Structure 1
Amino acid sequence: MGLKINQINPEKTALLVVDMQNDFVAAGAPLGTAMGQEMLPRLKQVLEFSRSKGISVIYTAHVHRRDGSDAGLFGEIYPPIAEGACLIDGTPGAEIYPEVAPLENEPVIKKHRYSAFFGTDLDIILRGKGIETVVIVGLTTEDCCFAAARDAMYRGYKVAFLSDVTGTYDYKDIGFGMVPAAEVHRVFLTVLGGSTAHVMTAEDFIQKVEDTVSVERV
């Protein structure tokens, strides 16, 4: 049960770096998550490796207009968005965290919903590059990363979801008890692994690319 990816061809693979923005990652950020900070060393490693192997690197940024006209129900779900305190396009908080910022030639897909495919040109870019496998890293496991993984799978892309380069935050008690970030992460990795993606570590990903490249050279 579940999708299995045995080979990862760099020329047909895109690394999708989801919402590693200051408003999610920086210390004291309105929507900050400790897991976002904790994963940074591994994300840097994955970025450096991917770039060295010619894997396409694409970023996403969840942003809204200052007047809230594109926020939809997010204003009701997240008070900081309703207050205009975060994720406002063009503000420092909406920018990619400097330690993992995109290179000049790496596109940033601006989106207004969880999924990087909803209302964007991401699918056009991926197909134009001949991409077959999408590797998901970033924030948050259960929302934007999960939505991107599902929508990628729906469109026929194989999805590698990196378990130690994704993360989330604690969920408050709404009647079923508080759920710590680690538990949210564990459950959604299990769901993804059984229904949508090949869940693997950064080390697994790197090894699969190296093995594929080695086979192709023979």
Structure 2
Amino acid sequence: MTSALVLMDFQNAIGGRPGFESVVDAAARALDEARRRDLPVVFVRVAFRPGYPEVAAGNLAFSGYAAHAGEGMWLDNPATQIIDRFAPRDDEPVVVKKRFSAFTGSDLEVVLRGFGVDSLVLGGVSTSGVVLSTVRQAADLDYRLTVLSDACGDADPEVHRVLTEKVFPRQAVVTSVDEWIAGL
């Protein structure tokens, strides 16, 4: 079994916002351990071309945002870049997605196949957005899944709790970063 650590939406405008410091700290511990053990690491961020041509008017989640975001979520905008603390290395791909799931509109699956990965270890902001959507799609793609509960965060702590305690365990092993490290 080949595992990859996939860190999702730890970009300045999302995971870099105040209130997610403990989530970033936990994800940083997972990242340090993955690097120490030479596990593949993949970063995922959400960003769009200037003018948001990828966002259809019928997409309720993204069309309203695109109408008011200005340049805030454009590909080259500092807001869409991975937080400095994580500083992706040259051998750590940064995948750009276009929707909630890390797979939608990205080349994530091709990158994972290139690494020979069949097991994903996930962390991300937000639990009810990128993490939920990616868990569902990755499970349908037959990946073995681990969700690092403390390396995930949501603006609504109760939503995070329900997802990590009741929903995700149907499709993933849910554990803390420290428990994951101890089990390696």
TM over 0.5: yes
Stretch moving more, 188-197 or 66-75: 188-197
> What are the ranges of 5 or more consecutive residues in structure 2 without an aligned counterpart?
none
Equivalences for 1:73-92 in 2 at 5 Å?
Answer: 73=59, 74-76=62-64, 78=65, 81-85=66-70, 86-92=72-78
Match of 1:182 in 2: 157
Pairwise CA RMSD of aligned residues? 1.5
The CA deviation string for residues 119-145 of structure 1, in whole angstroms up to 9 with x for no partner, is 322112212222121000111101111
Q: Distance in 2 between matches of 1:106 and 1:82?
A: 32
Match of 1:113 in 2: 99
Q: Secondary structure at the match of 1:100?
A: coil
Q: Of residues 153, 162, 177 in structure 1, which corresponds to 2:148?
A: 162
Deviation at 1:197, TM superposition (A): 0.8
The CA deviation string for residues 42-85 of structure 1, in whole angstroms up to 9 with x for no partner, is 22111111011111000001011221211232022x3xx32234
| Residue correspondences, number | 179
Q: Distance in 1 between matches of 2:84 and 2:126?
A: 18
Match of 1:20 in 2: 10
> What are the ranges of 5 or more consecutive residues in structure 1 without an aligned counterpart?
1-8, 27-31, 170-180, 210-218
Equivalences for 1:1-218 in 2 at 5 Å?
Answer: 12-26=2-16, 32=17, 34=19, 36-72=20-56, 73=59, 74-76=62-64, 78=65, 81-85=66-70, 86-169=72-155, 181-209=156-184
Q: Secondary structure at the match of 2:7?
A: strand
Closer, same or farther in 2 for the Cα pair 1:206/1:121, shift >3 Å? same
Deviation at 1:38, TM superposition (A): 2.2
Q: Distance in 2 between matches of 1:190 and 1:15?
A: 21
Q: Distance in 2 between matches of 1:190 and 1:44?
A: 22
TM-score (norm 2): 0.90
Q: Contact 1:15–1:57 at 8 Å: present in 2 too?
A: yes
Q: Secondary structure at the match of 1:207?
A: helix
Q: Distance in 1 between matches of 2:168 and 2:75?
A: 33
Q: Secondary structure at the match of 1:115?
A: coil
Q: Distance in 2 between matches of 1:185 and 1:151?
A: 18
**Letter in structure 2 aligned against 1:38:** S
TM-score (norm 1): 0.77
Match of 1:215 in 2: none
Q: Distance in 1 between matches of 2:158 and 2:178?
A: 22
Deviation at 1:108, TM superposition (A): 0.6
Q: Contact 1:66–1:84 at 8 Å: present in 2 too?
A: no
Deviation at 1:33, TM superposition (A): 5.5
Q: Distance in 2 between matches of 1:20 and 1:82?
A: 23
Q: Distance in 1 between matches of 2:73 and 2:9?
A: 10
Deviation beyond 6 Å, 4+ runs, structure 1: none
